[in-house]
Amino acid sequence: MIDSKHSGFSSCETNSYVTRETSVSITTTERHQQKQFPDPNQSAKSHKHKKRPWKKLLWVKQDYADNYTDTSFLSQLKRNSTVVTYSYWRLFRDFSLIGMHLSVIMSVILVFYGIYALNWDPVRPTIVSTITTFVGFVIYALTLKIRRNRELINLQKRKIEQLSKHRSVSPFSRPNSPLSQSSTDTLDGSLNNVNNRNVSRHDLNLEKYLTEPSPPDHFGTFKSSLLILLHLLTLSPVLKSLTNSSASDSIWAISAWLCFLNMLFNDYVIDFPRVSRVSSLNSVDDQDLLKRKYKSSNLSKNIALSNAIVLASRLNSNLSAFCYILFSIEVCGLFPIFNNFTRRCQFWKFHTIQLASIVFGVDYSMYRIFGLGWMACWVSLQLLIVVAGPFYFLALQKYKDELQGPWDTAHPVVKSF
């Protein structure tokens, strides 16, 4: 009895164990089958909820919020990549151009005050400025011719080196061949001609690569100057009576505004463009020797001429008006051009002489005409611009934060029909 009960209990226990083992084996088999053959519906759901990588494109619909910011958004950010580090003495030299231009404007005002109020002889300052202009023109013409010939010789040497390299790699460059011997003789003869400066400018067709302008035609320059003088002398009576119906206070106000605009719109050229470097000698015939010629703005010169005409209309005689306008043209029109030429040629000592002459000459004239007090105010203004200006400019550089990246706006290309 006990055995039958025990055996019945054992059989029940065995059946439950077998059932449990069978269910475990079925579950394991199903899992294995699911791994081998996944449910397509379930895989589609998981793929649907998987987000694609974020892209920096506004015109693509993405699975991200509008205010989402990815960690790679600023990966290509560039800060202050084109910011230049300045030195004080470099800025001092640049700011001195402002002081020199102020002295040029003040020299014109002082000459007018001397002729108008102190009864100066208008011929004397005009003769001094004319002689100085003539000397400057001679220096300009000679220097320009020397620099142009020197640049042409350098380009000819580079061209000959290019031809020599091309000859060395050509299939006809045999040591004992007649063609090679004739080419060598030709190149040697050309090089000797270059060293002797006897090569024609049009032999190698390098005229278009010169950055220096052509020397001025002396006869044409003299003829143009003479025509300008005759026209100015003819128009002097008309210019003198130009503002007879206007009050003097209006003339002084107009002149002050013209002087301010002249100072504001002057072309303070600091860095002159140069010829781009040539990567190889083969690029002499190509367009790699591109030159960027400097073109100055004539707006300030026209304003200075207007100021001279306005002030000359208050003078007493036609000769005074003629001399004063001619003096203003030479000082405010021709002197800045000559000074830009000396700085472009890097004649820094000569530029310093010009700067010191005009600045100290105006300071001394201020002292002789208006006294020590006005001269001190004028010198303080110049020191404020030339000495304190660079310090203020350097102090502002720490606030400069230039950002660059691929998200910068593109410039539209406008086609004209």
* Model confidence pLDDT, tens digit, residues 27-67: 445 555 444 545 544 544 444 557 788 887 778 888 888 88
Q: Determine which of 87-101, 143-157, 363-377 has the lowest per-residue pLDDT on average.
A: 143-157
Cα 39 from Cα 61, distance rounded (Å): 29
**Dihedrals phi, psi of 404, to nearest 5 degrees:** -135, 145
Q: Supply the DSSP string of 155-216, one letter for each residue.
A: HHHHHHHHHHHHHHHSTT--TT-HHHHHHHHHHHHHHHHHHTT---TTTTT-GGG--SPPPP
Q: Determine which of 107-111, 180-184, 303-307, 310-314 has the lowest per-residue pLDDT on average.
A: 180-184
Residue type, 365: S
68 domain-assigned? no
Q: Is the pLDDT confidence value at 185 over 80?
A: no
Q: Determine which of 204-218, 321-335, 343-357 has the lowest per-residue pLDDT on average.
A: 204-218
- Confidence label for 132 from pLDDT (cuts 50, 70 and 90): very high
Check residue 14 and give its pLDDT.
44
**Number of other CB atoms surrounding residue 198 within 10 Å:** 8
The pLDDT of 238-254, averaged and rounded, is 90
- The domain tally of the chain equals 1
Domain ranges, residue 332: 94-155+217-391
- Confidence label for 362 from pLDDT (cuts 50, 70 and 90): very high
Q: Is the pLDDT confidence value at 176 over 80?
A: no
359 domain-assigned? yes
376 CB-near residues (< 8 Å, 6+ apart):
none
The pLDDT of 185-194, averaged and rounded, is 46
Mean pLDDT across the chain, nearest whole number? Answer: 76
229 domain-assigned? yes
Q: Is the pLDDT confidence value at 71 over 50?
A: yes
Radius of gyration of the chain measured on its C-alpha atoms:
41
Percent of the chain clearing pLDDT 90 (strictly above)? 41
81 domain-assigned? no
Give SS3 for 7. Answer: helix
4 CB-near residues (< 8 Å, 6+ apart):
none
> If we measure between CA atoms, which residue out of 199, 187, 165, 160 comes closest to residue 179?
187
396 domain-assigned? no
More confident residue, 272 or 28: 272
Instruction: Out of 47-61, 154-168, 203-217, 321-335, give the one with best mean pLDDT.
Output: 321-335
- Confidence label for 272 from pLDDT (cuts 50, 70 and 90): low
19 domain-assigned? no
Residue type, 416: S
Q: Is the pLDDT confidence value at 76 over 70?
A: yes
327 domain-assigned? yes
Check residue 196 and give its pLDDT.
44
64 domain-assigned? no
Q: Is the pLDDT confidence value at 253 over 80?
A: yes
